[in-house]
Chain A
Amino acid sequence: MTDEKTWVLQAQQGSDEAFTQLVETYQKPVYNLCYRMLGEPELAEDAAQETFLRAYQGLHRYDASRPFGTWILSIAAHYCIDNLRRKKFAMFSMDIETDDGATFELPDASAPDPETESVRKEQRDRLHLLLKKLDATDRAAVILRYWYDFSEVEIANSLNLTVSAVKSRLHRSRRALAGMWQEEPSPARPERRAYETPAF
């Protein structure tokens, strides 16, 4: 039996320590999903915490034949979708990595050079902003597909959709993203931060 299954079993029997291990293991994927869905670090933190609380409360309903990761990401996705539907979010602020370190992306050890990495980062930030304009369920499908490499079947199971609906949502989202990518000019490069060194 793997560590994860042991933790799940122990947590189901009431072990807080075992559940803490699960939180430790899945905090990054859950947080990332919430961050990509909601767009703001504070909202993402809150949603990720709530996801784990819901998982804790619903552990007795967890079907051990399903991977725990898929189950908890499904809870997070549904929570974020409900959240987005309930609230009419105003245009998000520019929440690219903050200087106070509230949100980071994992560094890329294979980055070729700072300039190329900077361009890529700018493109990712731009994509992050465009993602927020998608419908909540479409956004969840895109995030599960590209951030977590979920298959269409896994996305369908996680979001309670049919496989054909997932396919159609992914295509629609890709078309929408391409359309917005074309229409919206690339954002101006951000001001150089105090700790950054000049390129030349």
Chain B
Amino acid sequence: MKHQPFEEWLLNDTPLSHAQKRELDLHVRSCAYCSALLETEKVLHSVRMAVPAEGFTVRFQARLAERRLAERRRRLWGSVLFLLGGALFLLWLLAPSLFAVLASPQAWVASLVKWGIFLVTTLQAATQAAVVVLRVIADLMPPFAWLILLSAFAGMSLIWSISIWRFTRVPQGV
């Protein structure tokens, strides 16, 4: 049996003229498939909404709280594992030095003191040099150059702060 154009009419919910409606009615009476198509269409147009059991929102809040707690625990465990891993990695890196320290502690302390003195004297020398250079530059540079330099420094700081804020912002949610 030919289903066209009746099937198309039914599938597309085509608005029909009186003559077309009569034609469709006649066809549907003799065609089981188109009759089923029409019947399912009617049922689909009379569907109802199923509603959840009472207290859906309360259950949602409980589930949200549970999920947040689980997320916090997960983050805590993540941090602990990360720190533990870092500590182990550091230990692995420092293992040769540690063995050396344990083998001759006096020699290690002496070299540490020597290195510390070197560091302090170097820093003092560098500071004095920087002070001298700054004094010379301050006399040479005009005020507007200082203004430009400070503005550039402030701008860079602002960009840096915004970048940190954007990257570290925690998205809304659990």
On chain A, the residues within 8 Å of B23 by CB distance are: none
CB of A74 within 8 Å of the partner chain: no
> What is the CB-to-nearest-CB distance from B41 to chain A, in angstroms, rounded to a whole number?
7
> What is the CB-to-nearest-CB distance from A126 to chain B, in angstroms, rounded to a whole number?
8
Contact assessment for A32 and B40 in the assembled complex, using a CB-CB cutoff below 8 Å: no
CB of B61 within 8 Å of the partner chain: yes
CB of B72 within 8 Å of the partner chain: no
Most buried by A among B11, B50, B53, B57: B50
CB of B158 within 8 Å of the partner chain: no
Residue-wise interface mask of B (30-51) relative to A, using a CB-CB cutoff of 8 A (1 in contact, 0 not) = 0011101101110111111111
Contact assessment for A27 and B40 in the assembled complex, using a CB-CB cutoff below 8 Å: no
On chain B, the residues within 8 Å of A179 by CB distance are: 33, 36
> What is the CB-to-nearest-CB distance from B171 to chain A, in angstroms, rounded to a whole number?
5
Contact assessment for B36 and A57 in the assembled complex, using a CB-CB cutoff below 8 Å: no
**Total residue contacts A-B, CB cutoff 8 A:** 124
Residue-wise interface mask of B (1-42) relative to A, using a CB-CB cutoff of 8 A (1 in contact, 0 not) = 000000100110000000000000000000011101101110
CB of A83 within 8 Å of the partner chain: no
Task: Report if A12-B49 is in contact (Cβ < 8 Å); known contacts: A53-B67, A181-B36.
Answer: no
Q: Which of A49, A104, A175, A182 contacts B32 (CB 8 A)?
A: A182
Contact assessment for A147 and B53 in the assembled complex, using a CB-CB cutoff below 8 Å: no
- Bound-state CA distance A177–B50 (Å) is 20
Contact assessment for A182 and B36 in the assembled complex, using a CB-CB cutoff below 8 Å: yes
On chain B, the residues within 8 Å of A31 by CB distance are: 50-52, 56
CB of B75 within 8 Å of the partner chain: no
Q: Which of A44, A57, A101, A146 contacts B50 (CB 8 A)?
A: A44
Q: Which of A35, A49, A142 contacts B44 (CB 8 A)?
A: A142
- Bound-state CA distance A175–B4 (Å) is 13
Task: Report if A52-B172 is in contact (Cβ < 8 Å); known contacts: A32-B49, A181-B40.
Answer: no
Task: Report if A23-B46 is in contact (Cβ < 8 Å); known contacts: A58-B173, A181-B39.
Answer: no
Contact assessment for A60 and B60 in the assembled complex, using a CB-CB cutoff below 8 Å: no
> What is the CB-to-nearest-CB distance from A110 to chain B, in angstroms, rounded to a whole number?
11
CB of B64 within 8 Å of the partner chain: yes
CB of B126 within 8 Å of the partner chain: no
CB of A102 within 8 Å of the partner chain: yes
> What is the CB-to-nearest-CB distance from B61 to chain A, in angstroms, rounded to a whole number?
7
State the 8 A-B residue pairs at the shortest beta-carbon distance, nearest first: A57-B173, A105-B48, A178-B37, A31-B52, A178-B36, A181-B36, A182-B36, A35-B50
**Chain A interface (Cβ within 8 Å of chain B)?**
11-14, 16, 20, 23-24, 27-29, 31-32, 35-36, 41, 44-45, 48-49, 52-53, 56-60, 101-106, 108, 120, 123-124, 126-127, 142, 146-147, 170-171, 174-175, 177-179, 181-182
